[in-house]
Structure 1
Amino acid sequence: MKPLARRRACFATATLALFVSFAPAQAGGRTIVGEWAPDPRQCWPSQGAITIGPLSVVGDEFRCDFKSVSRLGDVVTWRGACGFPDPARPGVVVASLRGDTLALRINGGENGSYRRCRVSRS
């Protein structure tokens, strides 16, 4: 393979890898990235709201930062570390979207049921 062709192939591979690493949270046209709360009219952390990013989940009493994410249908699985106020520990977070309701499990334990916030707090 010629040097220019090799560079183009490497660039294309790197671009695809970057896209694939962020795509799972948005696969299928139903992104779960955004703000969620038990009551979509009460979207404040003190009311139990959470913010989901491509590689993070943040609530009033916890924060998870992830190194990997995968998605199968409407189930997203992140692997990384969760903590706050406790020191961060290895964590696996699974979010399942069924209709308009998002169920969240952290390290196998139920963390609650959420609906997308109607009004952004940003």
Structure 2
Amino acid sequence: MERRSQKRDETHVPVELFARGKVHSVMLVDISIDGVLLQAPNMDLGDGEAVLVRLCGLASAVAHVRWSADGWLGLEFRRQLHPSVKDFTLHEYDGAEQLLGALRDAQAGQDAKAA
């Protein structure tokens, strides 16, 4: 049995997964600096397939599918996440999501005025 080299932390954070030319909204269930577990209903990706995970709309990481089964994906990052990215994802998500929403609303307002 394979042993994990890094501690995994549980969470429930929505993230974006770029796979096969499309963006998918999925749920991040746990994270380490080496990889993630995603709940991804109706996705069937092959082992070794390359994907891009966008965490909290800020950081993106290239990953490879390690396994896929029954709406779950285990991904391994090509390069380890910086620990601060993992910590931000775990502890600062709510505030960041509110800030990003406010920024998107402000940009949409500016775009509407310019039109």
Compute the TM-score of the two structures, normalised by the length of structure 1.
Answer: 0.24
- Normalising by structure 2, we get a TM-score of 0.25
Larger Cα Rg: Structure 1 or Structure 2?
A: 1
